[in-house]
Amino acid sequence: MPITITAFERSPDRGQGLARDMRVRWALEEVGQPYDVRLLSFKAMKQEPHLALHPFGQIPTYEEGDLALFESGAIVFHIAERHAGLLPTEPNGRARAITWMFAALNTVEPPIFDRSLVNILERDQPWYEQRLRALDGIIRKRLGDLSSHMGDADWLDGAFSAGDLLMVTVLRRLHGSGMLEEHPNLAAYVARGEARPAYKRAFDAQLAVFTAASAG
């Protein structure tokens, strides 16, 4: 069954691969599944037929035959369940890798994503500095804990898994903040993820969308 995902017609990140279609593209590249991309304007995302696929009018979505999914974490999990390469087969290792998927999305991503939003939307507000300091404190605590957990390991728990894929996409958002560099093992971890051939193919594909939109 052909797979179709959705992505921004023109990503506000100008091709940095920060939108959440990147993690879906990367997962599909890791497991060697070809996919089509339907590009959407902000207007089209908020209208039918897209709303029938995504109740919140966002990207990414995933279609395969009569299956339609939204939520990037659920999509990556689905890909990892259906195809070898992103989850261990040994049950306990698999459960731990799934735990890391949740940790990336529920524990590490929220303050990092909020920080991006505050920087975009609240810069002119009187509470901006205070809010940024509070979020940076939470993020630094998360990074410190994660760094201690990882030590000198290459990946979170044994071999590369969907947990690493999600964690790296989450941590990448801190590029430019200086916070990753406070933990050389985490900076190296992110670089290791970004060096994977599947990551590079996914990154280049989403960048090509932005480049084409800018030329047109």
User: Residue numbers of the site for ligand GTB (CB under 6 A)?
Assistant: 11-13, 18-20, 45, 57-60, 71-73
Closest distance of CB 154 from ligand GTB, Å: 26
Name the amino acid, one letter, at 142: R
Q: Closest Cα partner for 78 from 96, 92, 98, 59?
A: 98
State how far Cα 187 lies from the chain centre: 16
Nearer to ligand GTB, 48 or 152 (CB): 48
Number of CB atoms found within 10 A of residue 13's CB:
14
CB of 150 to ligand GTB, least distance (A): 24
Q: Which is nearer to ligand GTB, 31 or 44 (CB)?
A: 44
- Looking at the Cβ atoms of 72 and 161, the one nearer to ligand GTB is 72
For residue 2, CA distances in Å to 66, 128, 199 come to 11, 45, 21
Choose between 150 and 167: whose C-beta lies nearer to ligand GTB: 167
Token output for 5: 């995902």
DSSP secondary structure string for all residues of 11-37: -TTTTSS-STHHHHHHHHHHTT---EE
Q: What is the DSSP string of 147-182?
A: HHHHTT-SSSSSS--HHHHHHHHHHHTTTTTSTGGG
Q: How far is the CB of 102 from ligand GTB (least distance, A)?
A: 12
Q: Which is nearer to ligand GTB, 19 or 53 (CB)?
A: 19
Nearer to ligand GTB, 72 or 150 (CB): 72
Please state the closest distance from residue 1 (CB atom) to ligand GTB, in A: 21
Q: For residue 188, give both structure tokens.
A: 């190296």
Smallest distance, ligand GTB to C-beta of residue 132, A: 17
Left if phi > 0, otherwise alpha if psi is -120 to 50, otherwise beta: which for 64? beta
| Nearest approach, Cβ of residue 109 and ligand GTB (Å) | 8
- Which distant-in-sequence residues (6+ apart) come within 8 Å of 107 by Cβ? 142
